Amino acid sequence: MFKNKLKALTAGLSLSLVMTATVAQDFPQKPITLVIPVAAGGTTDIAGRVLANQLKDVLGQMVIVENKPGASGGIGNSYVARANPDGYTLVLAYEGFNTGNPALTKNLPWDPVKSFTPIAEVIRGPHLVLVPKDSPINDLKGLVEYARANPGKLNYASSGVGSIQHLGAELLQLKTNTKMVHVPYGGAAPAMKDLLAGRIDLFITTPPTAMGHLKAGTLRALAITSQQRHPMLPDVPTTAEAGLPEFQLDAWFTVFGPANMPDAVVKKLTDSMKTVITSPQFVKQMNEQGATASYRSPKEVADIVNADLKKWADVVNAAGIKPE
């Protein structure tokens, strides 16, 4: 009797392994949707479209980019969290929304850890401290001095509550003992539109959103929040060079799927994305946008998410930011 049960168990396990291998071999059999949880035109959107365009050649299927902005990334994240975990619906998530929002927003309809399956980190982006071209503020020191002398007079944009633009600006105020007014948008692109029009005084965001405007001279960058100057922006000083070395921001943009995806499908997607992200073509395109191609495995992504949840919760508490 025992031997028969053991044989049945072994046969079942073998069948399961064969089915898993078959799933990986056959996947994908139809187009994949990559959800971008912000409006078109921002860093997430730019990186997602480049990734999707190159990923189709590796996977042999179209990867359709679908923008679902709103609720500080919540609409896109909720959509993917509820999707069938078959690998055909993914989201290119942004650090601020996925690790800042949980500390700021009560009763999120998705959980940053339990609702998703990590696939691969795609890019990292330092941030630029941007002002309109006609702003009277000429450098980071001048910004701090003006903000201190005029509390509440400067407003700053973000791509939404809980974004790194939001938390980064709050961190800047915390470090410099200043007070500015937060104006959240549904993505970096609409925020950039108002910055260009002079309706916003300050925007701290990743370079891809701003590169074209900086080259055209329609915006000015006071500093970049990284340890080194970016090769595409050699004239923009680092925050350390500008007198504020403790103010650094380096955001991740990572692909997730719904929770409980088959391991074989995750591996197929991860391996395919690694091929794209580490390719010279992708690296070059991201460098030209002011970002950095940055592959990290699902395990590394999970560790980073857990660490950043604590990091941004600490910033929220220290800055006294109230949940919304």
For the chain, what is the largest distance between any 2 Cα atoms, rounded to a whole number of angstroms?
86
AA letter at 15: L
- Model confidence at 19, pLDDT cuts 50, 70, 90, reads very low
The pLDDT of residue 227: 87
Query: What is the DSSP secondary structure assignment for residue 323, as one 8-state letter?
Result: P
Yes or no: say if 207 and 196 are a contact pair by the CB < 8 Å rule: no
| 172-191 tens-digit pLDDT | 999 999 999 999 998 888 99
Q: What is the pairing mode between strands 32-36 and 63-67?
A: parallel
| 58-114 tens-digit pLDDT | 999 999 999 999 888 999 999 999 999 999 999 999 998 899 888 888 789 999 999
Q: What is the CATH number of domain 15-124+251-319?
A: 3.40.190.150
Query: Residue 98 and residue 79: Cα distance in Å, rounded?
Result: 14
Average pLDDT rounded to a whole number, residues 203-210: 91
Topology, domain 128-224: D-Maltodextrin-Binding Protein; domain 2 (3.40.190)
| 225-239 tens-digit pLDDT | 988 898 889 999 999
Q: Is the pLDDT of residue 294 over 50?
A: yes
Query: Residue 49 and residue 54: Cα distance in Å, rounded?
Result: 9
Q: Is the pLDDT of residue 283 over 60?
A: yes
- Model confidence at 193, pLDDT cuts 50, 70, 90, reads very high
Q: Where do the CATH 3.40.190.150 domains begin and end in the chain?
A: 15-124+251-319
Yes or no: say if 272 and 58 are a contact pair by the CB < 8 Å rule: yes
The pLDDT of residue 15: 45
The pLDDT of residue 110: 95
- Per-chain mean pLDDT for the chain: 90
The length of the chain in residues reads 324
| 23-70 tens-digit pLDDT | 557 899 999 999 999 989 888 999 999 999 999 999 999 999 999 998
| 110-139 tens-digit pLDDT | 999 999 999 999 999 899 999 999 999 999
Nearest to 140 by CA among 208, 202, 191: 202
Q: Where do the CATH 3.40.190.10 domains begin and end in the chain?
A: 128-224
Burial call 152-188: b when 16+ CB within 10 Å, e when fewer: eebebbbbbbbbbbbbbbbbbbbebebebeebbbbbb
Torsion of CA 190, 192, 197, 203, to 10 degrees: 130
What are the tokens at 191?
A: 């925020």
The pLDDT of residue 140: 96
Torsion of CA 109, 115, 121, 123, to 10 degrees: -10
